[in-house]
Amino acid sequence: MKNYNITLLRGDGIGPEIVGEAVKVLDKTAEKFGFTVTYTDALLGGCAIDATGVPLPQETIDKCLASDSVLLGAVGGPKWDTQPGNNRPEAGLLGIRGALGLFANLRPAVIFEPLRDASPLRSDIIGDAMDIMIVRELTGGIYFGKRGTFEEDGVKAAYDTEKYNVNEIERIGRVAFDMAMKRNKKLTSVDKANVLDSSRLWRETMNRLSKEYPEVELNHLYVDNCAMQLVRNPKQFDVIVTSNIFGDILSDEASMISGSIGMLASASLNSSKLGMYEPIHGSAPDIAGLGIANPLATILSVAMMLRYSLDEPAAADAIENAVAEVLKTTRTPDIYTEGTKKVSTVEMGDAVCALIKKVIAYG
Ligand code: IPM
Ligand code: MG
């Protein structure tokens, strides 16, 4: 029987609770689909600072590199706010992205039909569905560029640098074009080419790449216009590809529009299919330990893992179908509406497990 080695980075706040439920669902799925999973725990973020003094111990990098895939809960919390910038939980997150070479960040922003009313946008703007895939470059740009703090004529100053080379733009571009080919063959590249040199290179490179993908319709938007278009008419978007910092901002905007922030998963991939999967929401320290966190985004992250790293698409479908089904009747407090059953984190995990089915395709 096939066995997959998964490193678990449970992290801080609600992280351990939601990862626990995702593991339960993965085990149930494995049992139905005939594979096994072996788990290794590793420390990242605040819990790593408490145990070792640093947010990303070398041992964590080694364990992740030795595994087939990585599942992350969430990191951070007020307890570590006083740490210096380079020793905060967030630095651990950036560090692991860099160390594993996770340059491609896939952030789907979808609306789950039973949660349609949760979108802050009017239903005529949202339409029947919203299904946007943001492809964010994750290991370059201003997050990883040269930076410093210095004195300028006796005044304190600081700088950060946005830099991309053609290879970095091409490899994220290919991920996005390939994604567009698998979806609706429509790709929007977002930049600030009216101001930034790095954006002009970005646009030039995307245009060149598009010749290799004649079936994909490529268009370009400036980031400010894109932010506006997302709330004016989100239906116009299918796949969006953009830089690290623009992707950070636009993916938060898109997730809010979907109204399903507690529901959204993400994948960060390197060039050899090793991936780190995580919910897009944070560690929610205010509700940690209360047993009320919504584990569905983490459970859906496991579905993405099965699809993108482990090549088990039928198992991924089974999880996604179970989540779609469970939402009709069962809700954690964050998505509760009258007429549904309000459940705890653990009860939600159990409810999803009970709905995992192996569908036999006929014909
Ligand atoms: C995200 C987060 C991180 C980022 C922070 C926590 C460093 O906002 O994953 O979007 O900016 O990339
Ligand atoms: Mg962000």
Give the span between the Cα atoms of 255 and 115, in whole angstroms: 13
What is the reported pLDDT for 128?
80
Measured distance CA(103)–CA(97) in Å, rounded? 7
Interior angle at CA 191, CA 100 and CA 206, nearest 5: 75
- Tokens 């198992």 locate to 315
Ligand nearest to the CA of 107: 1
- For residue 291, give both structure tokens: 């047993």
DSSP, collapsed to helix, strand or coil, labels residue 119 as: coil
Q: How many CB atoms lie within 10 A of CB 309?
A: 22
Which helix (H) or strand (E) is 25 found in, with range? helix 15-33
**Ligand 2 centre and the CA of 156: distance in Å?**
27
Question: Which ligand 1 atom lies nearest to the CA of residue 138?
Answer: 12
For residue range 273-318, what is the model confidence (pLDDT) as tens digits? 899 999 999 999 999 999 999 999 999 999 999 999 999 999 999 9
Where residue 55 falls (left for φ over 0; alpha for ψ -120 to 50; beta otherwise) is: alpha
Q: pLDDT exceeding 90 applies to what percent of the chain?
A: 91
Q: What is the pLDDT of residue 118?
A: 87
Q: Locate the ligand 1 atom nearest the alpha carbon of residue 93 and give its number.
A: 7
Strands 35-41 and 155-160: unpaired
Tell me the percentage of the chain whose pLDDT exceeds 70: 99
Tell me the average pLDDT across 147-169: 97
Q: To the nearest whole number, what is the mean pLDDT of the chain? A: 96
Reported confidence tier of residue 363, pLDDT bands at 50, 70, 90: very low
When pLDDT is averaged across residues 208-232 and rounded to a whole number, the result is: 98
- Does 253 contact ligand 1 (Cβ within 6 A)? no
Burial of 82 (0-12, 13-18, 19+ CB in 10 A): exposed
Nearest CA to ligand 1 atom 6: 90
Q: How far is the CA of 2 from the centre of ligand 1 (A)?
A: 34
Instruction: Give the pair of three-digit tokens for residue 157.
Output: 């100053």
Closest by CA position to 346, among listed 283, 295, 284: 295
pLDDT in tens, 52-102: 999 999 999 999 999 999 999 999 999 999 999 899 999 999 999 999 999
Closest ligand 1 atom to Cα of 266: 9
Tell me if residue 188 falls in helix, strand or coil.
strand
Residue 310 DSSP label: S
Locate all alpha helices (DSSP H) within 277-360, ordered by sequence: 296-308, 313-326, 345-355
Q: Alpha carbon of 125 to those of 98, 231, 294, 327, 358: distances in Å? A: 38, 8, 27, 23, 36
Q: What is the pLDDT of residues 258-272, one digit of tens each?
A: 888 889 999 999 999
If one residue of 90, 105, 249, 266 were mutated to test the ligand 1 pocket, choosing by the most ligand atoms within 8 A of its CB, it would be 90
CA pair distance 268, 137, nearest whole angstrom:
9
* R_g over Cα of the chain: 20
Under 8 Å between Cβ of 130 and 257: yes
Position 360 scores a pLDDT of 66
pLDDT digits (tens, 9 = 90+) for 113-154: 889 888 999 989 998 888 999 999 999 999 999 999 999 999
Q: What single-letter DSSP state applies at residue 81?
A: T
* Helical packing angle, 223-232 and 244-258, nearest 10°: 10
CA distance 29 to 40: 18
